[in-house]
Structure 1
Amino acid sequence: MRLENQAQTSQLTPAADLTRAGLLNDISPNTWYYFSDNKNIAIQQLPSLPYKQDTRKYIHFMAPALINKKTILRFFLTNRSDVQQSVFFCPGWLVDTIELYRLTPGGSHVEALPRELPNDADSLGYRKITLAPHDSATFFAALSYIKAPSNSINPTLTRDTLITEGIVLQHRNKTSIDVITNLFAGLMLMMIFYAFSEYIQSKKPEFLYYIGYSICIGVLLFLKATLHNVTTSFNFFFEGFLDNIIFSAGYICYIIFHRKFLETSKHYKALDRYLLWGSAGIAILTCLYTLAFYFSPDFRLANNLETYTKLLLLATSTIFIIKGLGYHNRLMNYIVMGNISLCLLSIISLVMISMNIKIVSGVSVLNASLFHYEVGITVETLFFLFALSYKNKMEIIVSIQKEEKLKLETERKEMEKQVAVLAAKQDERNRISVDMHDELGSGVTAIRLMSEIVKSKMKDQTLPEIEKISNSANELINKMNTIIWTMTSSNDSVENLIAYIRSYAVEFFENTAIDCYFTMPASIPPREITGEKRRNIFLSVKEALNNVLKHSQSSVVKINISVNDRLVIEIQDDGVGINMEKLRKFGNGLNNMKKRMASIDGGFNIENKEGTRTTFYLTL
């Protein structure tokens, strides 16, 4: 009797006519609903449950409160045609199980309908219903949902002959947000290639973490677009579990990337600790979420852990932004601005999901929560590129500075090495000059003295050989003194060179018929000159003075010396001059002077000018 009353009540429910069924006809106005805590309701109890009207408010609902419940839908169908009609019933999107029942004529019995699905891979969300001509019946759909944070009840009917088109329209027809999501997934693919090229060039590990982040977010967006409204086992797994795992893994990589890219462990130790704790916390919550998802009978625990994971990520991002704004660093500012954009737009996306609000009226991608999250990712990516460009520029500058510093250090070491070698040479020169003075000098002087003693004893019977020995010893002493002078490092100055030339010239012409006049600056600047240069200049001047004495037939020789940026020594006599045409092309004296001055990068010139003028010059 109770079933009959329920059957009569069913007749009062607006009936959906199968003859009018086409593609995805909404039967929400014809459908009543009931949520039961008992998942094992006896099928004979279905007609007596306290159903409520208007399922349209459940077109979008937050699922956690209903995951542990059994949802029963009741709807009344009729076939007013003269032929049998078949339709496919779809209760919504992420429905894990669908069990259809029919109230038999007269309301005396409830029978289960066979599980008939369309011949299509995307068919888990559909069940077939058939009515005889001019038949009417009350149907019940017992539903359970996948473990997803949001779901919907949106019952539709599609004629069996149009089911292929219906599936295409419902699950494979790409909407504007799907196309845009694919574009954003393509953007992440580009960033993967870009980061990989950066890693190949620099071998920096932070780019591997950015690749991991880009892969996770790119795969997440691609699957969101590809599997949108698809009722397959993989999509149920993706929407229920895998999307949160990919999301968490991506942002763990993202946080580690920030730590490596900004070198927070070196420059921002306090911030580095927060980021480390944040990534560790997200990893721990993700593991707990996995355990709760598979082992807890109450989905609300897993859902709460997923919510806590996102709140921890939000808190970590907020701390990063607040502390990052306190650092006056351009690279940090770029990254912080990207995080601000991503954080704000992610919050907008979450608010739109949780409150089911629309930003604009009508159909628009602006009403899609995923679109705002994708815009946030894009803006963050742009700021990352700005930061990377700036960092590369700064690293180039630092690299150049290091190269210059290394170059200067190498030059300094080379200079120190040369100075050490020079010092060793100077020490050796000084040692040789001392040895020559002490050993050879005393010996030659002894020879000269003994020759003079022999001459004095022999008086008028002096042998020519004794005279030659005395002169040779005398000349050898002079030459040895010159060598000792050139080898002594304390004499390495222009002033000492000029003084030595003056002393030698005056002494050289002292017992001759030639008067020597010497002119030099009153003040000589302190300029160093090597022993090699002093030796070659002095020997060149000595050769010029010998030529004056032997060949000039002059009575006066003037030696003028000037010192500024160059040392110039000019020797002018008033003799017969030099015949440049009859001069032997390769005369030893002149050639020696020329070679000596050329060997020290100096110059030599000889000319007829009121006698002979010989000029030596050397750049100091």
Structure 2
Amino acid sequence: MRNCDLHHFLPLRGIVRFIALLCFLFHAPSLRAAHQSPWDTTFIPIQKFSPSKAHYKISKHKNLLPEDLEHAGTLTYSQIASLKNIAKGTRSVFIFFSLHNTSAADSVFYVSLQDEFVPEVYLYEMTSAPRYAGGTGFAHMQSKLSVPNTDRHIVFRLPPHKERRYILQVRDFEGGIFVPGFSILNEQAFLKAKPSFENRYEDPYNALTLLIVGVHFCLAVIGVFWSKNNRFKRPLVIFTIINFMYIFYYLNIYGFINFENNMLPGVKNIVYRQFWGCLEPVLYYWFFYSYLTFNKSYRLAGVLLKYAGLYWLIYFILRIGDYNAPFLISATHVIREFATVFDFAITFLVFLYLLKFKSPFYKYARLGVSILLVSAVQMSAPFIAGILGIGHLPIKIGNFSYAIMQVAIIADFLLFLYGVSVDTLKAENEKKKLENKLLETEIQRQRDIITERERISHDMHDDLGAGISAIKLQAELLKQKLREQPAMQEDVEDLLQTSFEMNRSMREMLWSLDSHNDRPEQFVQYAASYAELFLKKAHINCVIDTEGQQSELLMSVTTRRNLFLCLKEALNNIHKHSRAVTVHILFEWEDSRFLMQIADNGVGFSSPAARGNGLQNMQQRMKNSGGGFEVTNIQPGIRLRFSVPLQAS
């Protein structure tokens, strides 16, 4: 699925092989024709030296030591190519050549590598002692490249009419040596050939990489906004981190960003590339682990996936280490050679485990991992073929394989997001269905309550109403018979008054139970009728107003009854204590609330202590109804303001 670096070489059992033919030294960069100047650029083409004329020496040292100069160039190309004389633990290959400047002036020469992705190449000039002349390669310190901003050229000067001997050192990279072909050109020939070099080495995947970086940025932004999703919060957080990591990873690998000397001083840019490369599978394994669930039967699989990233941590430590111990070198080879196979195995196990889940999210997650599995197969297949003797080792993973990997990762991420959206939409639909079911249940319950209220209302009207009316009728008859007995007639009057009040209370209860009276307009009509009748008997003027736009909201039974009882209590207090001449009642609709305001022009309260239990009862009734209650002295008189909530029908 993934690998740690674009510059990844996989040797087998620590045996160093050379992939490219060694093509070296042009006999004399300034050879002149019979009638031409040695600097005639039309005369000097780009040429490769014959490997048979190059002289080589292998060394177990990473730095050039005096003993490496003894018996310089003792090996021939055929001996190097046969690999029979390559000893285990070889750290360097030295290539010896000489140049003769036939010009009368200093000449600038360029060593131009014929292969891309060469790790470290150093040029030494042999005077009385080896003198460092320049270096290049992607594993070289980028700030110390011989030619800035390019890891394929070394520039050096040769005095006029002088002949110099040079040593070109190719160092091992992660236990493997890749020796490139190269050409040596004078400055004019180099400048003329430079467009050819640039076109030759220009990475055709740069445009694709920039496009993929843009896609990763968009995915990271989506991850930031979607991470509020509680169910997928942890996977989406890791998803966002991975996408931001890929942005820096790809920009660093393809040379758009250079971290060298910008973060940790003295750390090569290649170390940052290796770090990003090893961090990527670690985060991906955690990403898998974050959205998978493991029961007791699969606990071992969960532990394996959770800690699989330790493999890449060890891999990173071994990659950046400069080891000479044979055991550590062998361990580095084994872990590095098995890296792509290990990644394939983890991806395959995740795919198999996803088969047990049936939800829509895991369906798309499984499809995404299957695409990653295709990438993992094509990344690990060359190594497996080499082990089986079908292919050649060591192998170098090319840009095409990395392009497939990048596209596979994008496809997996897109399928993951689509799965999250499908699952979220399904959960919302199920939630709406549940809410609708609960709403239907509540509606049915309310209908049952209304039916029961109406039944009770009818029963009370038919039974209690008839009984109270019979009592009242009998009291009237008794009153007529006892006209000549004043003492008994007073008792009958009390009985008639009691029956009248019971009849009125029963009618109020029936009114409050009737579901047809749940609208605020019905309350206003009933309350206004009651207030006018009551105040008329008390010889108090009554003014009733309404304000606001009527709505479809309703007033609950409890709210309606409490508000009406507050109205009765307020009018009764005005009649007994206020000495008011006029009472103004205002009914008002205000959004989802209903307001009732009662104001009189009486004497008001002489002091706060004058407020009795009636106001406390009003306060408690409004509190029980979820409403509010205010008392204000308005001089003259007082104003009572009641506020209750309305509810949807």
The change in CA–CA distance for 1:14 and 1:247 in structure 2 (over 3 A counts) is closer
1:415-434 → structure 2 map (5 Å cutoff): 416=445, 419-420=448-449, 423=452
Q: Distance in 2 between matches of 1:423 and 1:372?
A: 75
SS in 1 for 2:74: coil
Aligned to 1:196: 221
For the residues of structure 1 that align with 2:473 and 2:188, how far apart are their CA atoms? Answer: 132
Q: What is the letter of the counterpart of residue 52 of structure 1?
A: T
For 2:249 and 2:300, locate their aligned partners in 1 and report how far apart those are by CA, in whole Å: 28
1:153 counterpart residue number: 180
1:130 matched to 2:141? no
Partner of 1:286: helix, strand, or coil? helix
Tell me whether 1:27 sits opposite 2:74 in the alignment. Answer: no
Counterpart of 1:50 in structure 2 is 74
Query: Is structure 2 residue 410 aligned with structure 1 residue 373?
Result: no
| Pair 56,179 (structure 1): closer, same or farther in 2 beyond 3 Å | farther
Change (3 A) 1:254 1:168: farther
Match of 1:336 among 353, 366, 382: 366
1:191-340 equivalence runs, <5 A: 191-201=216-226, 203=228, 204-226=233-255, 240-260=270-290, 263-265=291-293, 274=301, 277-283=304-310, 285-286=312-313, 289-290=316-317, 293-294=320-321, 296-297=323-324, 301-302=331-332, 304-340=334-370
Measure the CA separation in 2 of the matches of 1:343 and 1:337.
Answer: 10
Between the aligned partners of 1:273 and 1:23, the Cα distance in structure 2 is: 63
Instruction: Name the CA distance, whole Å, in 2 between partners of 1:199 and 1:227.
Output: 25
Whether the 8 Å contact between 1:31 and 1:54 is mirrored in structure 2 is no
Distance 1:222 1:398 in 2: 38
TM-score, structure 1 normalization: 0.55
Query: Contact (CA 8 Å) 2:362, 2:419: kept in 1 or not?
Result: no
TM-superposed CA distance for 1:446, in Å, is 5.8
Give 1:44 shift.
Answer: 7.7
Give the Cα separation in 2 of the matches to 1:325 and 1:47.
64
Q: Is the 8 A contact 1:285 1:308 kept in 2?
A: no
Q: Which of 16, 29, 42 pairs up with 2:27?
A: 16
8 Å Cα contact 1:83/1:132 also seen in 2: yes
Q: CA RMSD in A?
A: 5.7
CA contact (8 A) 1:191 1:214 kept: yes
How far apart are 1:319 and its partner, in Å? 0.4
Cα 1:487/1:327, change in 2 over 3 Å: same
Cα deviation digits, residues 411-468 of structure 1 (max 9, x gap): 534653565576567657756876656666346336547868x99xx9xxxxxxxxxx
**What is the identity, as a one-letter code, of the residue corresponding to 2:252?**
L
Distance, in Å, in 2 between the alignment partners of 1:394 and 1:193 is 21
Structure possessing the higher radius of gyration over alpha carbons: 1
**3-state SS of 1:115 partner:** strand
Structure 1 gap ranges (5+): 1-12, 103-109, 358-366, 459-478, 493-528, 533-620
Confirm or deny: 8 A CA contact 1:38 1:70 kept in the other structure.
yes
Name the CA distance, whole Å, in 2 between partners of 1:374 and 1:139.
39
CA shift in 2, pair 1:152/1:400, >3 Å: same
Q: Distance in 1 between matches of 2:73 and 2:347?
A: 48
Report the identity percentage.
8
What is the identity, as a one-letter code, of the residue corresponding to 1:184?
Answer: T
Query: Structure 1 residues 268, 324: closer, same or farther in 2, change over 3 A?
Result: farther
Corresponding position of 1:348 = 378
Say if 1:201 and 1:219 are closer, same or farther in 2 by CA, change over 3 A.
Answer: closer
Aligned partners of 2:421, 2:243: CA distance in 1, in Å? 20
Greater Cα offset, 324-333 or 421-430: 421-430
Distance 1:342 1:368, change over 3 A: same
Change (3 A) 1:188 1:75: same
Distance (Å, rounded) in 2 between the aligned partners of 1:417 and 1:157: 95
CA shift, 1:332, in A, is 2.9
Change beyond 3 A, Cα 1:182–1:304: farther
CA-CA distance at 1:316 after TM superposition: 1.1
Task: Sort the Cα spacing of 1:352 and 1:90 in 2 relative to 1 into closer, same or farther, 3 A.
Answer: farther
Please give the TM-score of this superposition, normalised by the length of structure 2.
0.53
Name which of 133, 139, 149 aligns with 1:115: 133
1:100 aligns with 2:146: no
* 1:251 CA drift (Å): 2.6
CA deviation digits over 1:153-211, x for unaligned, max 9? 324312134556666754x54757x2324313422422321341353256244333223
Cα offset for 1:399? 0.9
Task: Report if the CA contact (8 A) 2:125-2:166 is conserved.
Answer: yes
Work out the CA distance in 1 between the residues paired with 2:182 and 2:515.
104
Where 2:308 maps in the other structure, the secondary structure is helix
State whether residues 108 and 155 of structure 2, in contact with CA within 8 Å, keep that contact through their aligned partners in structure 1: no
Aligned partners of 2:101 and 2:318: how far apart in 1? 49
Question: C-alpha separation between the residues in 1 aligned to 2:73 and 2:515?
Answer: 116
Matched, 1:405 2:434: yes
